Amino acid sequence: MTNAVNREGHSNAESLLSALELRLWTNCKSWTCPWVFRGQRDASWDLTPSAWRNPSTVPLQRLARLRVEFEERFGLGIRELLYRNPLTRCANADFVVKAYAQGRAEFSLLLDFVTFADELGHRVPDVDIYRRLAHHNYLPDVQSYPLVRFLPELNAAAALAQHHGVPTRSLDWTRNPLYAAYFAASEVEVADTKAQIAIWAIRPDLLLELGRHERYNSQYTRFLGHTVPNSENPYLRSQQGLFIHPVYGCAHIAAAGTFPDFQTFALDAQSHSSEPVIRVLTLPHSEVGELLRLLWLRGVSRAHLMPTIDNVTHALSSRWKWTM
């Protein structure tokens, strides 16, 4: 297979929706679709988890400040621990400190969310995991370098936080391509004549097959699919959602100094597969209003995907905006 992402441009909304018909993504003998989808408002963006992006929002600015704070607070101690152990003395201390600070900052945002939501009486699954880790004020186990783990595994609390605006290291996807198209289009505030939205598609089953190979464990580059019980997250249920998660995100940072790259991993899977693994479909911003109209007629809007009474007004506002 080619080692490049297959890009398919569409000039109008009707053409894009035709290409997103689920039957076209499903084997004629299968009752389920192996592909999952993700929408992004800018086709030039990579598939980067929100917690690893530039600090363009208040939560990401908070994350950046916490990262600096933790580097200053714990950096010296981590360096001393690494140096004392002959097995870790050769490690790049700057990378390990960066990995710890990033993980700790992400954890702190999640802890703030689950703690405050619980105080207000909202049901927060797995909240005790965060309380326990916060109580022990945990530090990285540098003795196990580079297999360092600074965050709990993806769980229902992290999924809930992500769906309510907290940046995490997971990418959210949907099994319904129309939902992905909606999320891409709905994020466009002002149509840019030179910009396009993107609907990404991947094969999690083929990523899992690749991830079983030991070399992807040793390089800490694996991204695998995860989900949480639908009963724990009504948004996940209504959006037919799941997550793609970097299995060894902090270990990769500690060893290489960089975040693992999802597209590189997916393209590597594609180069070893007889089937396509990753695709992207694009549409000009000028067609966003028409796309949202056609999706509305198909029963796809924010009010459907995030079923709260406030989102009824939000959905209507979007409709009014694009019909002015």
Note the pLDDT tens digit of each residue in 230-252: 777 777 788 888 999 888 888 89
Convert the pLDDT of each residue in 44-98 to its tens digit. Answer: 999 999 999 999 899 999 999 999 999 999 899 889 988 888 888 888 999 999 9
Q: How far apart are CA 60 and CA 245, in angstroms?
A: 19
Query: What is the phi-psi region of residue 165: left when phi exceeds 0, alpha when psi lies from -120 to 50, beta otherwise?
Result: left
What values do phi and psi take at 88, rounded to 5? Answer: -115, 0
Task: Give the Cα separation of 36 and 30 in Å (integer).
Answer: 15
Structure tokens at 267: 């393209």
Least confident stretch, 64-73, 167-176, 235-244, 259-268: 235-244
Q: How far apart are CA 254 and CA 67, in angstroms?
A: 15
User: How far apart are alpha carbons 33 and 51 in whole angstroms?
Assistant: 29
Q: Would you say residue 137 has pLDDT above 70? A: no
User: What is the pLDDT, as a whole number, of residue 1?
Assistant: 46
| 170, 50 contact by CB (below 8 A) | no
Please give the model's pTM, rounded to 2 decimal places.
0.88
Average pLDDT, the chain: 87
Is residue 281 within 8 A of residue 201, CB to CB? The reply is: yes
